[in-house]
Structures are given as structure tokens and as C-alpha cells.
Structure 1
């Protein structure tokens, strides 16, 4: 069995080595893809704007690509419009292909290491335990599809985490932007993005927003970029902030300093309120995080002590009732932990 596990490890190392070889090619073509998609996006926005001005209906774009664009806008460290989606698809496709061939090669060698025949029957070599090739590639394809969902789930988790953090990081963005209020909106946003720390999840979105203000050709393109930034954070403060930017872009920035000062004070006051409420509910939040885990661990230990381990594991994992209760308890445990995590640090908003 050990040589079999070593063989799987070598398959994974080979797949990782292939990815390291082709990754520089992806990185070198990243900027080219970005420029192409920026050009196509600008042309497309102009066409859509003309259609709307003539009263024509806007054609629906791919929902999957739009959905991934929204997730990568905040979830990607070096987001580029259009190009990031292509690279995401390339990485996911390579992962699926690698998992498919690793599982395929592993299952084809599996009968050489495991014996599925009856040990009490003398084998004269006339029978040979092999797995059908059709069943092998079906299992490999299924596992490859399951593995292909991992990058998306990871992206969803990163987006949810950064979206919550972005509501707090917006306060730093507003404070830095207020120092450059005398500049135009594009220049002030660019300077703000430069001074933001890498820990701030809005560093890249702010820089992308500055490019939108610097290169927009019509109102539709400007509104699309602003709404993407505001909807990504999805708080009342973000909507107020982009409204101030729009007013400064269309009218003037003479009243911008006072508006940003008032917005900063409101956000700091709301943050203090959240901290005060969180400190009062700290015990309940910690109980939701660790209390259920402690109760389940003590219950399992008690049942194992009463029934003995062989009987407990047989009842738990070899009966339908035991598996059903295990699934229900595990699901409720994850739900309680998720709710506790959300309550532990709510978004910086009025809701």
C-alpha cells in the first residue's frame, strides 16, 4: 500500500510541476489579455450606450462571466477586467484535467496493489481482477468535476470574507481620499490606491475605479464602474461615498471635504456602536462557536464509553439512522458556526 501512496504523490508532483512550467506563459499573456478585453469592453459599452439612447433593449451578456467578474473584482489580488475571468477558467480547466488523469492512472494501478478476491480460494491464474476501463474514466470524470468546483468555492469564500472586511476598510479609503480632495476624482483615487496598505482589500478596486474615471467615454461606462464598486461593498456608506464622487466629477469638489468629513464621523460612530454591541454579546458568540463542538465531543465520548468503540462505530456508520443523525448534526454544527462568525464581525453599515 505504501508504494501505491507514493505513486499518487508522484502524480501530484508531476501535475504541480507542469503547472509551474505553464504558469509563466499565463502571466506573460496576462497584460495582453487585459488590453484586448479593455478595448472590447470599451467598444461594447459604447454600442450599448447608443442602443439605450435609441430606445433599443440591451442584450443580455453571459450571466456566468458577469458573476465571476463581480467575484474576482474583490476576490482577486490583481484583478484585470476580462483577463481575470479567462485566467480563472484556465486554472480551473487545468485542475480538472490534472485530477482526471491522476485518478485515471491511480485507479488503473489499483488492482495491482489491492486484492479483491477470496483469500481462501486458490488462484491458479485463470482469473484476473481488473477494473473496467469504462467505470474508471467515469469515476475519474466525476472526481474531476467535483475538483473543478473547488476554485469557485474558494473564490466565494474569499469574496464573502473580503466583502465584510471592505466595509471597514472603506473608512481608511475615505480618510486618505480626503487629503487629495483638491485633485480631480481620478487623480485623488489613484493617489489613494497608492497609499493604501496591501492589507486593505479595496486597494485594487480603488485603482480600477480611478481608471474608470480617467478613461470613461460616456455616462453608461462611468455609472457601470461606480455601481460595481458600490455594490461590491454593498453598504449605505459606500453608496454615499460614490454619490459624492459623482457630484465632484459632474459639478465641483468644493463641498467634497465637508461631505467626506461628515461621512467619516458617521462611520466611526457606527463602528463604535458595533464594537459596543459586540462586547455585550461576546459570551453568546463564543458559545455558538465552541459550545456546540464541546457538547458533541462530550456526547460522543460518553456513548463510546457506554457502548464500547466497536458497537458505537457500527451503529453510527453502518446504520441508516446513525448516518442520518450524523449528517443532520454535522450540518447544524456548520450552520451554527457560520452564524456565529457572521455575528462576530458584522458589516459596518446601518442595517
Structure 2
């Protein structure tokens, strides 16, 4: 655990802004001028933007695009940046079952963890069998945190908190067990952040699907995990959502654009590809910044190796879970057949 009083561990807001060379950009974005809008449309870089956000917020949430390689490439660049471990204490992820938190703690601290112990972290979540998280980028995420921690003193290492409810699939035998065991996924994530992060005055990066990290609309109660945290504490998180828009085609990939002081603030969320937007909802109401990963249609998928599912025990368990859940998923088509890595271009919503 990190020492909260450590001067080495903490960077001040001024120090982070200086380290990222971002002071002038932040000041310009705040006044909402035409020059600031133009600068924002040119785009800052993702890593620098996240570090700036941590100078002002203890919770920074990134809406993860499940299975998208470029999104995780950006996340790995963030994790590997030498400044990151200086401003972040914890990372909360959707793609991990909290039942295995002791396993993950040992693993990211550098302990010897057998693969058969580690794999259940992502294979046994509430999202199985619809999503096994067997795509290599998820395991790579955990292994990158372990590598980042390796040279650091024990009290400065980043902790990975598994945010999915602690379901024990060996005890799930009926559909009724599903509702009992799975519980409130967003509520569980919120409780993890409240208990393990905010109560300890720590700072956290939250990596969850976009709907889980959006701000609640004015007057809305409940909502995703981040919205619940904000409602229960009054503490504002900084929310980054990934999406594409025709106005951004000239920008380089991994550009980060603030909503404040730019056209993004009032743009309808339905105009963005990859973003789970709704007609009539302005982007600035649900997020603070947009992560632009590149031209729509140029994204790729991270796909699991079909050979994984030739393991008879694992395959039988996926089929058992499918029967319990009653899901219409075609396991053979989804997991045992080769698929193109080209990310399917989502259709534009009709408003």
C-alpha cells in the first residue's frame, strides 16, 4: 500500500501541468474562446490529457471499447508512461471478477501466479459466456501493470481492483442463482471505488464500458457506477469517452479533446460512432473529453485464439453457462471460428 503522506508519491497539480507542458492549454480551454476551440480541435494527446485530469480529480474514468485494439493500445501507452505511477494509486477494471482479488494482488505485486490461477480472473465474470475477455489485450493489460510495478518500491506500486461482482460460477446452477449471485454491477463498482479508493484518499483510473462511466443527466438518479459515486459523494469524476466523428477526420489517432469551451460540449451524442449515444443528449452532459482513436473504419479487433476453446473442460463450462443464462449466442461461431480483425463499422443512429 502506498503511504498517503509520501511527498515522492504525490505530484502537485502545478507539477503535473509542468510535466505535461499543459498549463497554457488548460487555461485556454477554460475561457471558451474561438482560439481555444480551434486548439482543442487540433487535439491534445491522450496520455498528457489523463495526467492533467489527475491533477484536478481523484477519479478519472475511461469508457473502454470492448475488444477494440486501438483503445487498449492507448491504455497501454498510458500505463507505460513513467509519470503515470506517480499520480495513480489504483485501477478499477470491468474485465475482472472480484472473487479473485487476492490472486490479482499477488500477481501485480510480482508474485508467482500460475496461469491456471490467473485465467479465472477474466474468464469467470458475470459477462460469461457472452464475453469471456479471452482476447489477448485483457491479459496484456494486467501483465503491463505488473511490469510497470516491477522496478517500483512496494508502497508505490499500482493496485488493480477487480470491479465485477464476486460471482462463484461453481455455485450457479439455475437462472435464479444468476440474479442472486450477480447483483448490481454498477453498484458494486461504485462500492469498490468508495471503499478502496476514496475512503483512503487515493486516486483511481476506472476502465469500464462507456455506459458505466457516463455522468448522470441533470435530475437523473442512479445510472452507471461513476454517476452513483458522484451522487453519493458530491465528488466530480473526469470522464473520457471514445468515439469518432466526421469533424475529427483530420486529427491523429489518440487525440484527446475537451468538451468544455468547444463544439463537443453541445454536440448530440448520436452523431458519434462507437459511442453508445442517445438522440438529444449533448456530449458535454455525459462526458468531459473525447478520445479520438482514428478514422472510423480503420479500427481493429483483438480476438481470442480459437484454440483456447478446444479445451474440453472450458468448452463444456461455457455451454453449461449458456444453458443457464438462456442466451442466444452461437458459441461455435463466436469463439471457434476465425474472424476478421477489422472492426465492424457501427451504423449511425436514426434520430
Q: TM-score, normalised by structure 2?
A: 0.28
Q: TM-score, normalised by structure 1?
A: 0.28
Larger strand proportion of the pair: 2
